[in-house]
A and B are shown apart, each in its own frame.
Chain A
Amino acid sequence: LAKTTQPISMDSYEGQEVNITCSHNNIATNDYITWYQQFPSQGPRFIIQGYKTKVTNEVASLFIPADRKSSTLSLPRVSLSDTAVYYCLVGDGETASKLTFGTGTRLQVTL
């Protein structure tokens, strides 16, 4: 199972772009990279998922280099409401039961 490493915390000002990088050196061929967002006292919520190159949706972009050993979640123009914990997970449909949520990256956005 692929182990992930991401920064414990990050700070940003409102309106800035935030990039959170996750390393996953032993990612497997069938693994997807998934990012979740969690607000205090709420369950994690899916943000974005990708396999390679770049994926963009209405809330974020996910950049994955060719070797897939890392990925970067990009949040454009963050607001105070983006203050949350962000988790990077690696796995496929069959290993979903074994996905481990580490401590994630705590993003604090201030004015």
Chain B
Amino acid sequence: DADVTQTPRNRITKTGKRIMLECSQTKGHDRMYWYRQDPGLGLRLIYYSFDVKDINKGEISDGYSVSRQAQAKFSLSLESAIPNQTALYFCATSRGQGAVTGELFFGEGSRLTVL
């Protein structure tokens, strides 16, 4: 079983619909992240959370919201999806405070298509 699990893996929706992408992890890490990747481009950070009570905006947070329901769960929501949010979304985790390095562990990705 994957350490970082994303659901759904693929989703097609229509403009204006609310969409939630879920991420759960069994690594016991404090820190969780949501990234977006567009074709031919690198990954851009949307939101990140250092613990259950901590939520931070990343580079491209507009149009997105997140919820950290528990240490192991971090959800990304698109309140009203638009076509330019069509992308591949990745959840990632890393160890928390005291970690010497920032190695990231990624999920398999959620491909979202907004028509």
Contacts and interface: CB of A to CB of B under 8 A. Distances in A.
Contact of B111 (A41, A43, A46): A41
Interface string A71-87: 00000000000000001
B42 to A, nearest CB: 4
Given A41-B109, A43-B90, A43-B108, A104 B102 contact: no
Given A96-B31, A96-B94, A97-B50, A103 B101 contact: no
Contacts, number: 75
B99 A97 contact: no
Interface residues of B, number: 34
Interface of A: 32, 34, 36, 41-46, 49, 87, 91-104
21 contacts: A32-B102, A36-B104, A42-B109, A43-B4, A43-B92, A44-B90, A44-B104, A87-B42, A93-B98, A93-B102, A94-B102, A96-B31, A96-B102, A96-B104, A97-B56, A98-B45, A99-B102, A100-B42, A101-B43, A102-B42, A103-B40
Given A42-B109, A43-B4, A43-B108, 18 more contacts: A32-B102, A36-B104, A41-B88, A42-B108, A43-B92, A43-B106, A45-B106, A46-B104, A46-B105, A49-B101, A87-B42, A92-B100, A93-B94, A93-B100, A96-B103, A97-B33, A97-B58, A97-B102
